[in-house]
């Protein structure tokens, strides 16, 4: 599937958000991971768009989206931008499918518009505070990027393995090598937004404080080898969200959509068949 033929643009505060609009049916709003873009969802879009309308915005400074508006200073602000996109498309009700930060802003958007969001899927995600040790480590990486106005090779070699299962270099070298190349290609113009967005993500509020308001059908999935978002965090969310379902994704790291796409697709089709059809 050529995703670019489904690409559109939406303007907020004179900044251009790039998004895909693929398929017809009940609407799914997909949120991708930090340092990735909409192509991370390609295997899911190919399957889900046969039954659903997939709206896939790209984070500010990622993919073909422009730099981040100055007024965007929190995940709630980010959620407001995606709600503005949904309003622009004259969509009333929709479901959210988010991985990593996509699940974080997805939870914020669900809290903003609870009567409009029908289901919430959070993959490789944690909506509590970022643990202090990892937050300090990530802030240090962001400062190095800002100083260098790029992502240095030494940092790429640290960052890339965080996104995949342990055996990725042997099992799927093309995947990690392609990601390393993407990181190396990030321009100086993108770095400021990427660093600001990173501070927003890793300095986020504790959304778990409002978790009792998440009363919609909710599916949580975590890769068994996810390094940034270990399974324990998934369990904490599952315990806190009444009626939620929790699934381990076997032999998957953070970007499970590409590492275990068939497994993910089956789980999503089953979940949506129960709750949307």
Sorted by where each begins, the domain ranges of the chain are 3-130+205-275
At residue 277, the pLDDT reads 76
Q: Is the separation of the CB atoms in 41 and 30 below 8 Å? A: yes
* Strand bridging mode 15-22 / 7-12: antiparallel
Residue where the block lists tokens 């709750």 = 275
Q: Is the separation of the CB atoms in 159 and 181 below 8 Å? A: no
The pTM assigned to this predicted structure is 0.98
At residue 77, the pLDDT reads 98
CA gyration radius, the chain? 17
Burial bucket for residue 187 (CB in 10 Å: 0-12, 13-18, 19+): exposed
Q: Is the separation of the CB atoms in 100 and 124 below 8 Å? A: yes
Q: How far apart are CA 256 and CA 239, in angstroms?
A: 22
At residue 236, the pLDDT reads 97
State residue 116 phi and psi, 5-degree precision: -100, -25
Mean pLDDT per 10-residue section of the chain, whose length is 277 residues: 93 97 98 98 98 98 97 97 98 98 98 98 98 96 97 97 96 97 96 97 97 97 98 97 97 98 98 94
Eight-state DSSP code of residue 127: -
Please give the CATH topology (third level) of the domain spanning 3-130+205-275.
Rossmann fold (3.40.50)
Q: In angstroms, how far is the first alpha carbon of the chain from the final one?
A: 25
At residue 268, the pLDDT reads 98
Residue 249 CA to its chain's centroid (Å): 16
Show the tokens assigned to 191: 């770095």
Show the tokens assigned to 88: 């622009």
> Alpha-carbon torsion 61, 62, 64, 69, what sign?
negative
- HSE-CB of 119 using CA atoms within 13 angstroms: 22
């Amino acid at each position: 599937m050529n995703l670019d033929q489904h690409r559109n643009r939406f303007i907020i505060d004179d900044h251009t958000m790039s998004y895909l609009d693929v398929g017809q049916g009940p609407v799914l709003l997909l949120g991708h991971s930090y340092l990735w873009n909409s192509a991370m969802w390609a295997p899911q879009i190919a399957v889900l768009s046969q039954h659903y309308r997939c709206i896939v915005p790209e984070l500010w400074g990622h993919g073909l989206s422009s730099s981040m508006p100055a007024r965007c200073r929190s995940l709630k602000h980010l959620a407001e931008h995606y709600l503005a996109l949904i309003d622009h498309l004259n969509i009333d009700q929709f479901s959210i499918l988010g991985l990593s930060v996509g699940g974080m802003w997805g939870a914020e958007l669900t809290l903003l518009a609870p009567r409009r969001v029908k289901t919430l899927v959070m993959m490789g995600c944690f909506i509590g505070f970022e643990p202090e040790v990892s937050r300090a480590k990530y802030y240090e990486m962001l400062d190095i990027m800002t100083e260098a106005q790029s992502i240095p090779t030494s940092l790429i070699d640290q960052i890339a393995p965080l996104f995949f299962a342990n055996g990725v270099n042997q099992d799927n070298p093309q995947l990690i090598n392609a990601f390393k190349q993407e990181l190396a290609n990030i321009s100086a113009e993108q770095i400021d937004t990427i660093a600001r967005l990173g501070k927003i993500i890793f300095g986020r509020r504790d959304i778990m404080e409002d978790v009792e308001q998440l009363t919609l059908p909710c599916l949580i999935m975590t890769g068994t080898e996810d390094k940034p978002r270990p399974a324990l965090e998934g369990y904490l969310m599952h315990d806190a969200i009444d009626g939620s379902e929790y699934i381990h994704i076997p032999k998957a790291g953070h970007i499970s959509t590409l590492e275990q796409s068939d497994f993910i697709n089956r789980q999503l089709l089953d979940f949506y068949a129960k709750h949307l059809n």
